[in-house]
């Protein structure tokens, strides 16, 4: 799975475009986060089918700022679902091991998606 980052001037239809384009292409969005800053919309979303997503977004004129490997943490598998403070503990564990968190958001099937400085090291920590 990879994270796609799209940054463009904020408009009412940014999420609509992303959703429609990927839906028509048959690509499921596993998780998504959007924020805005100074009239710019920044959308992060994770997909499994990287090639199809990249092709579909490009054909629709949506410029991809970055495609990033991600660390995916299954909350149920790690038995942290619904436990207060678990998110902070996860982030502290990553930070204490020198892993920088660049972004993060919830995903389908009770997962967290993190863009981190060392995906492999994060995966080993949470095996």
Do residues 38 and 86 share a domain?
no
Comparing 37 with 31, the larger pLDDT belongs to 31
Q: How many domains does the chain have?
A: 2
Query: What pLDDT shows up at residue 119?
Result: 98
Domain range for 104 is 72-125
Do residues 30 and 65 share a domain?
yes
Q: How far apart are CA 57 and CA 53, in angstroms?
A: 6
Query: What pLDDT shows up at residue 18?
Result: 96
Mean pLDDT of the chain: 94
What CATH number has the domain bearing residue 8?
3.30.2130.10
Do residues 92 and 44 share a domain?
no
36-80 tens-digit pLDDT? 988 889 999 999 999 999 999 999 999 999 999 999 999 888 888
Decide which of 25, 49, 69 is a domain's last residue: 69
Do residues 64 and 76 share a domain?
no
Residue 118 has pLDDT above 80, yes or no: yes
Query: What pLDDT shows up at residue 80?
Result: 81
């Amino acid at each position: 799975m990879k994270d796609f980052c799209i940054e463009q001037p904020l408009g009412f239809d940014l999420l609509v475009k992303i959703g429609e384009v990927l839906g028509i292409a048959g690509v499921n969005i596993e998780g998504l986060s959007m924020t805005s800053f100074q009239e710019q919309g920044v959308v992060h979303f994770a997909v499994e089918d990287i090639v199809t997503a990249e092709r579909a977004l490009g054909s629709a004129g949506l410029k991809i700022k970055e495609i990033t490997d991600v660390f995916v943490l299954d909350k149920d598998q790690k038995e942290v679902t619904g436990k207060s403070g678990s998110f902070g503990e996860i982030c502290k564990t990553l930070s204490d091991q020198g892993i920088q968190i660049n972004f993060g958001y919830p995903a389908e099937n009770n997962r967290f998606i993190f863009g981190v400085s060392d995906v492999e090291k994060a995966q080993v920590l949470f095996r």
